[in-house]
Amino acid sequence: MSKTAITSDRAPRAIGPYSQAVKAGHLVFCSGQIPVDPATGELVDGGIDVQTAQVIRNLTEVLSAAGATWDDVVKTTIYLTDLANFAVVNQVYGTAVGGVLPARATVQVAALPKGAAVEIEAVAHLSR
């Protein structure tokens, strides 16, 4: 099995020694995305709803670069700095994922890079 790094200029560049995503066989492992505007490299201004929407946009671009969509996503992990934001994140997240909902874990963490309030990673399966 070979593995291929996936990159998209339409998503934020990696801020460390990792790939935006890696394709291995029919699986695509997307690194966690935080609410960084790819044009500026800075966190977006706004509350948890705005931050979550940016994370979803960033993941959508990485998935697209791998030839995948949200319909291909089988697992996500959401990292929150405050679980009190769970309901709002669920609402925004629910608009992005449809059909068969991915399996998911949501955890509270002490901190995220750049002071973000939310980070989401995803695993997709390509049937083609």
pLDDT at 98 over 80: no
Report whether 117 contacts 36 (CB < 8 A).
no
**Helical pair 86-96 and 48-65, crossing angle rounded to 10 deg:** 30
pLDDT given at position 72: 96
Across the chain, mean pLDDT equals 96
- With a pLDDT cut of 70, the percent of the chain lying above it is 100
Give the model's pLDDT for residue 128: 74
Q: How far is CA 88 from CA 23, 48, 49, 91, 127, in A?
A: 31, 7, 6, 5, 32
CATH number, domain 3-125, options 3.30.1330.40, 3.40.640.10, 3.30.70.330, 3.60.60.10? 3.30.1330.40
**Three-class SS state of 19:** coil
Decide: 92 and 39 in contact? Cβ < 8 Å. no
pLDDT band at 99 (very low <50, low <70, confident <90, very high): confident
Q: Over the stretch 36-82, which tens digit does the pLDDT of each residue have?
A: 999 999 999 999 999 999 999 999 999 999 999 999 999 999 999 99
